[in-house]
Structure formats: C-alpha cells, structure tokens
Structure 1
Amino acid sequence: MRSNRRRLLLLLISVLLLAATAVFFREIRQPETPIGRFEHRALDKAARSPPIAVRPDMAAPPSLAPMPGSLRLIEIPKLELASQFLRMWRMSGSNICSALREAGIEMSEWKAASMRNRSYECYFQRIYERDEIRPLSSTFVKVRGNETGDILEIRAKIIGPKTDAEGRLDPAVLRIFEIIVKQACWRDFEDTLASIQNLRDVESERFGAYLSFTREAGSENNFNFALGLKATSDPQMRTRTYFSTDRWLAAANPPMVPRTSDQPIARNDGAGSSHDPRSSLACG
C-alpha cells in the first residue's frame, strides 16, 4: 500500500510540474500581457473623454513682477534717525553760521579756509580796545568743519569782556554762547550758560560731547570756550561708524528726478545749501 501511495504522489508532482512548465512557455510566447492591454484601453478611454474644465480658483498664479535692480539687502542709515542713537550735530556748519548772522553777529560766510585746505569755517572777530601790542578787549568766534558741512568744533575767545555791576557777562556777548548751545540742540549743556554768564569755569563731558569755558592760564581776564564731539566709548564709536556716510557705497541706480527749466541744479559744494537735510531737523 505504501509503495502505491508513493507512486501516486510522484505521478501527481510530475503532472503539476508539466502543467506549470506549459503555462510558463505560453506566457512567454504572448506578444502582449494583460497589463499592457489594460494600459492601452485606459489610454484609449482618456483620448475619447471630453476635456476637464479648470476651476478659476485653480488657475496658475500670476508671475511675480521683476525685482528692481536697485534694491539693497541693507538700507543706508538715515541721518534723521542718527540722533536717536548717537550724539551728533543737528545742523550743518553753514546753518549755524547763518543762525548767528540772523541774531546780529557778523559771522563770515561758510567757506574753505584756504585754496589747498579741505577744512571749512566761518568766524567773527571784533576788537573793542587794543594797545600797540595786543587787543585789550575783543571777542572771537570760529565754527570749524569740513567740505560736506559737518561741524568739527566751535571755539571762542573773549578778552577783557564787559560786565555789569554784579560781574555778569555783557548780554550781547552772552547771546553768542546761548545761540551756539541751543542751536546744537544739546539741552543737557544748557545749564552751563549760568556759569558762562557769571564768568565761572565750567567743564562738562556728557555722552560723546564736551563743553568747556575756562579762564586762560596766566590771565585773569581772558576766557576760552570750546564745544565739540568726543565719542570715546566702544558703543559710541561703533554707532558713529555705522552712521558715517564714508562707510557706505552710493546707490548703483539713483532715482532720476525730472527737473523743470526754472529749477536750479543741486550742488554739493559744502556750503550748506537748502537741500541739506540737517537744515530741517528740529531739536527733539
């Protein structure tokens, strides 16, 4: 019985192998598989189907406008913002000279100190009394800066000033210092005007600026005045460097402004013309 079962099992295995071999060879001979026929039918159906309408909200987004060539990754610092972070002159040298002239002080025009000198200045000098050697009573004021109109320092010297019965400085001379301090818009220095009026020495250095009014050594009746910038701390130096126009490149494509026939051409001669942005800055 066991031998018969073995023969039947071997016969069954042989038949299954022959059947599998026959199916394999038949599939090889067929030129197109069922998958291929399915793909052809799907493509043919797609070709016959009507086109699908595109919804308005699914339309392609409009193309972006071209970026202008003059865009910058970092904007150039604006002068009107500099005073919020840095002690600076709020007006040009030409403007402060004009302010002194408008107050009746005969300051000279803001101009180059000499033909070969790039420094600019305006000054006032009046000698009230002198001997054969030197002035005995005089007032001298100088505003010194550069060709772009930046003020570097303001100095003054008074010799033998007139005073009243209480030893206070003549109001006409005191007016010079009042205008300088107030035009600078540094209100923390306005309290020094009382010392100047009473001809008392005062020296003050506050947040990157200095003011001094001192009696000249060796003379009881000569006084020197100075007002200027002095950025000493690292934060002040870094801030001043950031707002310095010398550190920034000019715009590659500056905007062209149409000019009418009666409109003058803007000049940058350091003379503090009306287009200087510092002329419109008010004390804040």
Structure 2
Amino acid sequence: MVPLRSNHGRLFWPALLAVLLLAGTAVFYHQTRRVENPVGPFEHRALNKTARLPGIAVHTATTASSPLPPKSVSRHLIELPKLELTSQFLRTWLASGPHICGALREGGIEMSEWKAASMRNRSYECYFQRIYERNEVRPLSSTFLRVRGNEMGEIVDIGAKLVGPETDAQGRLSPAVLRIFELIVKQACWPDFEDTLGSIQNLRDVEHERFGSYLSFTREAGSENNFNFALGLRATSGPQMRTKGYFSKDRWLAAPNPRNVPANAILMDHLDTPISAHCAR
C-alpha cells in the first residue's frame, strides 16, 4: 500500500503545476490584449449607450441622409412686363391721348373729343383747326393741331401746321399760338424739350432727337411763311430697340391660365391700360 500512495503523490503535484501554469498564461495574454487595444472597451460602452438612446441615433441618420430642400423658380422670372415700368428704361408717353386733348381744352385750345378718325379707320385723334384768313384757293393764315393715337388712348404722334402765323413787331410768334406748343411739351412730361420753345417762338428751325424721341419745328420747303411741327417716339439705338421689343405686347405669347380665363385678357390687362401723366410742374 505504501508504494501506491507514493505514486499518487508524485502525479498530483506536476498536474497541479501544469494547471496553474496554463491559468497564468491565459491571464497574462488577456491583460496584454487590453493594454494593446485600450479604446475597445470605451467604443463598446459608447455603442451600448447609443443603442439605449434611439432618438439620437435616428436623428443622426436622418440628418446625414436628408436631401436639400426643393427650390422653386420665382414667378417674377416669367411675369409679363409691366407697362408702368417702361419709362424707367425707355422714353414713353406718360399721358394718354384723351388726357392731353382735355388738358389742351382746359388751356383754352378748342380741341375736339378723342374719337375714331373715320368709320373704317382704327386710328383715333383729337384736333383743332382755325382759319384766320383765306382766299378762293387756300388759307392764308391758319393753325392746325392734331393728336393721333389708337383706340386704347396710346399716342402715336402730335403734329401741327402753321400757315402765315401772326407775329409781333420783332417777328416772334404770337403768345396765343405759342401757348399751344407750351402746353404740348408740358403735358408730354418731357422737360428736356422745353428749351426748344425759344426757337419756336422766334420761328427758327429746330430739330432734336433725345433718348428715343424727336421734336421738330421746321419751315416748309418752298414757303417762307408755313411751318410744320412734330413730336413723337423714335427708338434708334440698339439698347433702345431691344428694350422696346421687351415691353412690346406683340412678342409675348399668351400663357396658360389655371382658372381658364382667356390668356389674352390677362395680356390686355397688363399692357393695354392707358397711363395718365404724373409729372410735376
């Protein structure tokens, strides 16, 4: 029996030593991994904490993946041009034909009413004519004035003709006739033409083209005592022609109307409304 116990003692201690050696090796290897990768535990804890806060996780994902808000094209890029803004870029009549005709009547010039020139003519006009002296063939002294336009009241031009006008001792035009041209220039609201009134008063030829408009007062060819006057629009330069084309209603197509109102009616509302004079004097 003694030899048997002795053998067991010799086997027990080496086995215990081997187990302890393996356990120590495992602990040492684990500690070595923790030292080499110290961020791992913190990342693990952070992930666990994020998982417990689903709102934050969803918000982050939504923010990262949400597209840019949609952009719409402004209405102002496709709106029809507003006629009341034309005068800021191009010379325009700032008063309607009926308005100027009424202003001339108020100023003592017996102008007719604004009406169609004839039954078959779409031109509209008001005019004044007075014959002071005539022979069997023609007037020897007369004054004729006409404001011409269309049925919407838009002015095309203003013209006048003086035959044998009355003058004073210095050869200057009588104040009663000069008053006509003063009123025309004033009601047209184009003050840059006011300096032509001195030439008209002295019956001297004057022709001016300024910023898309013209004024002329000239002696009639072949006659020493007949004079013609004209005032109107004339866009000549490239920028003026392009601006005039932009504001012209003829170049704008009728856009679809969601309310099924005829598009031409909208176009008329924007572009065919006569404008009254607003210049200060």
TM-score (normalizing by structure 2): 0.66
Structure 1 runs (4+) greater than 4 angstroms displaced: 249-255
Asked if the contact 1:158/1:224 (under 8 Å) is kept, the reply is: yes
For structure 1, the 5+ residue unaligned runs are 1-48, 53-63, 256-267, 269-274
Q: Please name the residue that 1:158 is paired with.
A: 162
The amino acid across from 1:85 in the alignment is F
Which residue matches 2:146?
A: 142
Residue 90 of structure 2 is aligned to residue 90 of structure 1: no
What SS does structure 1 have at the residue aligned with 2:81? coil
CA distance in 2, matches of 1:161, 1:183: 23
Count, aligned residues? 216
| Kept in 2: contact 1:90–1:283 (CA 8 A) | no
Secondary structure, in 3 states, of the residue corresponding to 1:124? strand
Letter in 2 for 1:104: G
- 2: CA distance, partners of 1:176 / 1:164: 17
Deviation at 1:72, TM superposition (A): 6.1
Pairing partner for 1:213 from 217, 235, 253? 217
Which SS does the other structure have where 2:169 is aligned?
A: coil
Q: Tell me the SS of whatever aligns to 2:184.
A: helix
Cα distance in 2 for partners of 1:93, 1:84 equals 21
Is 1:190 aligned to 2:187, yes or no?
no
Partner of 2:78: 74
Contact map agreement 1:119 1:146 (CA 8 A) in 2: yes
What letter matches 1:279 in structure 2? S
CA contact (8 A) 2:81 2:246 kept: yes
CA RMSD of aligned residues (A): 3.4
The one-letter amino acid of 1:106's match is E
The 2-side partners of 1:280 and 1:90 are apart by 5
Matching of residue 203 in structure 1 with residue 207 in structure 2: yes
The aligned residue for residue 241 of structure 2 is: 237
Deviation of the 1:252 alpha carbon: 4.7
Opposite residue 96 of structure 2, the aligned amino acid is S
Aligned counterpart, 2:132? 128
Residue of structure 1 equivalent to 2:276? 279
When normalised by structure 1's length, the TM-score is: 0.66
Pick closer, same or farther for the CA change 1:143–1:277 going to 2, 3 Å.
closer
Name which of structure 1's ranges 241-250 and 119-128 shifts more when overlaid on structure 2: 241-250
**Post-superposition CA distance 1:11-59 (Å, at most 9, x none):** xxxxxxxxxxxxxxxxxxxxxxxxxxxxxxxxxxxxxx9x97xxxxxxx
When residues 202 and 280 of structure 1 are mapped into structure 2, their CA distance, relative to the original with a 3 A threshold, is closer
* Distance (whole Å) between structure 2 residues aligned to residue 254 and residue 167 of structure 1: 66
Taking the aligned partners of 2:258 and 2:177, their CA distance within structure 1 comes to 46
Q: Greater CA radius of gyration, 1 or 2?
A: 2
Q: C-alpha displacement at 1:246, in angstroms?
A: 2.6
2:103 corresponds to which residue? 99
State the shift of 1:142 in Å: 0.7
Cα offset, 1:148, TM superposition: 2.1
